[in-house]
Structure 1
Amino acid sequence: MDGFDSEFQDPRLIRQFPNDSYNKNLGDAEVIGAEFEFSMSLTEGLFWRFGGDVKDTEVQEGALAGNQLVFAPEYSINTGLDYTFGLTDGMDMTLHGDVSWVGEQYANGANDDNRLIPAYHMANARVVLNSTSETSWNAALWVRNLTNEANLTNISHLRQDYFYSPPRSIGVEFGWQY
């Protein structure tokens, strides 16, 4: 676990207008928080990870004093499980799943309600076939955004353009170590 208390002098904020954009100094800001990570073997072949952060951000002076910094959620949490087991002599399989949660966050320095990105979650899965012989290879089937969530991840400053997480994707990977 790590704790932090960081002060920033004049961080920049991008200001956008119909025909132009420019960087503007925001005024001093502070971020106080903690990060944590934990992992352990639950049983033979079953491994668990858990981590995240909590933070409080605040602009301390200027026109936006008291507001949160942009794209700075108060929390994010992630957890995952890996289960590895033998299939045959020289071959094993790993089943993996993970979930992450991200708290609500503002997409602009004014902290306007119409630029508030809601909290969201994302789940992923992966199955890996591993050769454990001298010429090691692996093959994996993965799914990102397992539940096919359309999570809002950004709102443009200039217009009300909304950006969402990519839809569910499925893929395969092959690897060879020599």
Structure 2
Amino acid sequence: NGDNSVYRALARTSLSKRVFQPLTLAEIREYVPRQTNEDTEDPYYGELIRIIEYDEDGEPEPPNVAVQNTFRNAPFQIGTDGLVGCTVVTVVSRRAVYMGHYWEGPNWKDPNDFVTIILNFISNTNPRDGSGPALNPALFNRATDDTRIYIMQAVQRTGRTTTAPYYAPELRQ
């Protein structure tokens, strides 16, 4: 919009040293598709660390994947494209980020499967099904960490706009 109001808002609500340039509204709308394009590497963040890998048939393999990185001097980006029906859990502190992708099909149909597959995967309890690290609480538990948890999950299809979770009982766990 020309007055950099988006940048000023970001500076007030984020760690300013991680905001590397002002973004226009048009640039923000193009950001995610550009970051997840396999043929494009971001000159600042480098290659996207993907939380979904696909097999030859286009199926996620394995269905549960997590990445955990500490914030140091080198910028990085973690994410995915094509998220349909699955759940992504992102835990962010001033020191680290943990992002996990949990495939809808085998993980959410039965509440017991949710506990034995998803919660075991995050907490490193056996049996553990997936690839990547368990959440390391030591990276997120200091009083000064300002830890936040973001859950991106499927919503109910009611024919109208809704934010009601599709798996409400599991989400409460």
With normalisation by structure 2, the TM-score equals 0.25
With normalisation by structure 1, the TM-score equals 0.24
Larger Rg: 1
Larger strand proportion, structure 1 or 2?
1
